[in-house]
Amino acid sequence: MSGNRVLDAGSDSARSMLPARRWGLRLLAVVALLAGWQAVATRSTILLAPPTEVFEVLLAKVFVDRTLLRAIVDALRQAALGYALAVAVGVPVGFLVGFWTPARDVLDPIVDALYATPMVALAPLIIIWFGLTVVAKVFLVFVFAVFVIIINTEAGVTETPEGLIEAARTFGANDRQVYSKVHFRHALPYVLTGLRLGAGRAIRGMVAAELFLYADQLGQYLIDSGATFRIARLLAGIVALSAVGVLAVGAAERLERRLVR
């Protein structure tokens, strides 16, 4: 996949290692982390809570009194809305920009610049525009996710090999067929990569919205835990959020693998 070309590059070349050894090393790393954490945490209980306690709190907050679970589900609802909007806007704009050169000329530098901009810097503007409302949060998630989707979709269209198009034309394909059968097909894996990356960014946007716009349950959970030095509670929240991020990206990845064969 073009998406992680750089990150995945070479993952096969130097990685000729027995799976048993690989998993052993990973396990060792995790065990060492937990042991070190436990050792440090038992020495200074103000700054750090031991992993056992964090785990305990995590289970309690997710399955027993469910404060954390409810907070995350609530935030996820807004994230899902923002993400859906980002997909609904990003994919068509990506195709438009990919197909229509003048639009690409004009929008490319703008999309690039916005993509490089820290979206959190827009939070003050968003507050001016929408106030401290749910709309503001959904909008922040939207801007977090939309540009990756545009950029990947566009790349999928513009990088369709000339040869494919020419071959289709040779066999008598008309414009519409070239667009729908060649460009579209070629763009699909890129679009899906965009959707996966967008999902990860939507989760980040959700956290940013909770912390930088106004704190709903999730933001309050994190901020209150920190302000009252309930470190185990705080760390449990952070761990749960990471898990949600991994799950969201994992789900998008599964979709990607199913659709691209």
* Window 1 to 30, contacts with other proteins (CB under 8 A): 2-11, 13-17, 22, 25-26, 28-30
Q: State the minimum distance, in angstroms, from the CB of residue 193 to other proteins.
A: 7
Query: Which is closer to other proteins, CB of 11 or CB of 174?
Result: 11
Q: State the minimum distance, in angstroms, from the CB of residue 176 to other proteins.
A: 25
Query: Which is closer to other proteins, CB of 8 or CB of 65?
Result: 8
Separation between Cα atoms, residue 33 and residue 42, nearest integer Å: 14
Residues between 83 and 112 with contacts to other proteins, criterion CB under 8 A: 101-102, 105-107, 109-110, 112
Q: Which tokens go with 235?
A: 């760390």
Among 187, 202, 208, 232, binds other proteins (CB under 8 A): 208
Query: Which is closer to other proteins, CB of 64 or CB of 121?
Result: 121
Reduced to 3 states (helix: H, G, I; strand: E, B; else coil), residue 97 is: helix
Q: State the minimum distance, in angstroms, from the CB of residue 168 to other proteins.
A: 20
Q: Which of 156, 137, 243 is nearest to 195 (CA)?
A: 156
Q: Which of 183, 204, 110 is nearest to 150 (CA)?
A: 110
Torsion (CA) 85, 148, 3, 81 in degrees, nearest 10: -20
Give the count of residues interacting with other proteins (CB under 8 A). Answer: 80
Query: Which is closer to other proteins, CB of 81 or CB of 154?
Result: 154
Among 54, 79, 157, 234, binds other proteins (CB under 8 A): 234
Among 75, 222, 236, 252, binds other proteins (CB under 8 A): 222
Among 242, 251, 257, 259, binds other proteins (CB under 8 A): 242
82 touches 140 (CB < 8 A):
yes
Among 45, 66, 73, 129, binds other proteins (CB under 8 A): 129
240 touches 72 (CB < 8 A):
yes
Residues between 168 and 187 with contacts to other proteins, criterion CB under 8 A: none
Q: State the minimum distance, in angstroms, from the CB of residue 261 to other proteins.
A: 21
Taking CB under 8 A as the rule, which mask of x and - marks residues 24-63 in contact with other proteins?
Answer: -xx-xxx--x-------------xx---------------
C-alpha pair distances (Å), 47 with each of 34, 53, 82, 91, 164: 16, 13, 35, 45, 60
CA-based radius of gyration for the chain = 22
Separation between Cα atoms, residue 219 and residue 14, nearest integer Å: 42
Separation between Cα atoms, residue 71 and residue 69, nearest integer Å: 5
256 touches 192 (CB < 8 A):
yes
Q: Which of 3, 27, 79 is nearest to 245 (CA)?
A: 79
Residues between 142 and 161 with contacts to other proteins, criterion CB under 8 A: 148, 151-152, 155, 158-159
260 binds other proteins (CB under 8 A): no
Query: Which residue is it, tokens 């990607």?
Result: 256
